[in-house]
Amino acid sequence: MTSHRVHERWAERSGEYSPEYYAYYGPDERSELVRGALDRFVEPDAPVLELGCSAGRHLAHLHDAGYDDLHGVDVNGESFEVMADAYPDLTRDGSFYTESIENLVADSDDDAFAAVYSVQTLQHIPPENEWVFDEVARIASDLLVTVEVESERGERGAEDGDGGREGEAGGVVDDHTGDVPDATGTRGVNYVTEEIPLYYRNWESVFTERGFVQVDAESVDADTFRALRPATR
């Protein structure tokens, strides 16, 4: 599937994994981990960007905690209609962009945001668009946070009783290469409801190659939380 078609699928998404789906569940443990990393390394008035923000449940958690320069991008325009109903204060105070992550990061200035984070979103960037990771590193001045599914093993662990999870990956593993990353940090690929690819990557490897160092990491159900800072900090 081409990256353009993947964008279309997310833009048209309804039901499971749609903006309404995530707004219904609200902030969760991942929201807490993101906020904890921000509390350690950036000020409440610092500009913060979420990649693939959907209806804004993680941003709403940050807004409630006093962060007041919040930005979100999502290719699904319905995200912001749902946000207006579910989180009207966030909608009023934040800045939001209905476009692809690829376009948003390419058009942003160097160090445009003190912190950039992603929750189960960067895992959908296809290999042909890995230049996006260079751009993400370029626009984040102080902190990067990833909360992503990094291996099939993590998914199976959650399914076997390690706890419930937000959970996106279903269907049959295709071209799975195990838990040993290749030169780009990619470990394999799975599919969300057999239509949207999910690429397993080691995000520490991805961003240390781009000048960052990992300062924190933690498993959360099937996901891996990682906080990284520029090596010059």
Give the pLDDT confidence score for residue 19 in this predicted structure.
63
**Cβ neighbour number for residue 44 with a 10 Å cutoff:** 13
Taking all residues of the chain, what is their mean pLDDT, rounded to a whole number? 82
**Residue 18's pLDDT band (boundaries 50, 70, 90)?**
low
Residue reference for tokens 């159900």: 221
* CATH number belonging to the domain at 3-230, selected among 3.40.50.150, 3.40.50.300, 3.30.450.20, 3.40.50.11720: 3.40.50.150
Using the predicted structure, report yes or no on whether residue 215 has a pLDDT greater than 80.
yes
Angle (nearest 5°) at CA 178 between 176 and 183: 95
Name the token pair of 118. Answer: 């992603």
Name the token pair of 143. Answer: 């902190």
**Residue 173's pLDDT band (boundaries 50, 70, 90)?**
very low
**Amino acid, single-letter form, for residue 103:** N
Beta bridge partners of 147: 119, 225
Give the pLDDT confidence score for residue 16 in this predicted structure.
53
Give the pLDDT confidence score for residue 186 in this predicted structure.
56
State how far the alpha carbon of 194 is from the alpha carbons of 47, 90, 121, 198, 221, in Å: 36, 33, 17, 10, 22
Residue 195 backbone phi and psi in degrees, to 5: -135, -30
**For the residues 106-135, what does the mean pLDDT come to?**
96
Give the pLDDT confidence score for residue 177 in this predicted structure.
37
**Domain-wise residue ranges, the chain:** 3-230
**For the residues 40-45, what does the mean pLDDT come to?**
97
Minimum mean pLDDT among 20-29, 59-68, 87-96, 129-138: which range?
A: 20-29
**Cβ neighbour number for residue 36 with a 10 Å cutoff:** 16
Characterise 185 by phi-psi region: left (phi > 0), alpha (psi -120 to 50), beta (else): left
**For the residues 174-188, what does the mean pLDDT come to?**
47
Long-range contacts of 128-132 (CB under 8 A, 24+ apart): 128/3, 129/3, 129/102, 130/184, 132/101, 132/102, 132/105
**Residue 182's pLDDT band (boundaries 50, 70, 90)?**
very low
Give the pLDDT confidence score for residue 189 in this predicted structure.
87
Residues 121-167: pLDDT tens digits? 999 999 999 999 999 999 999 999 999 999 876 544 433 333 333 44
CA-based nearest residue to 76, from 11, 155, 146: 11
Using the predicted structure, report yes or no on whether residue 228 has a pLDDT greater than 90.
yes
Give the pLDDT confidence score for residue 27 in this predicted structure.
83
Give the pLDDT confidence score for residue 25 in this predicted structure.
66
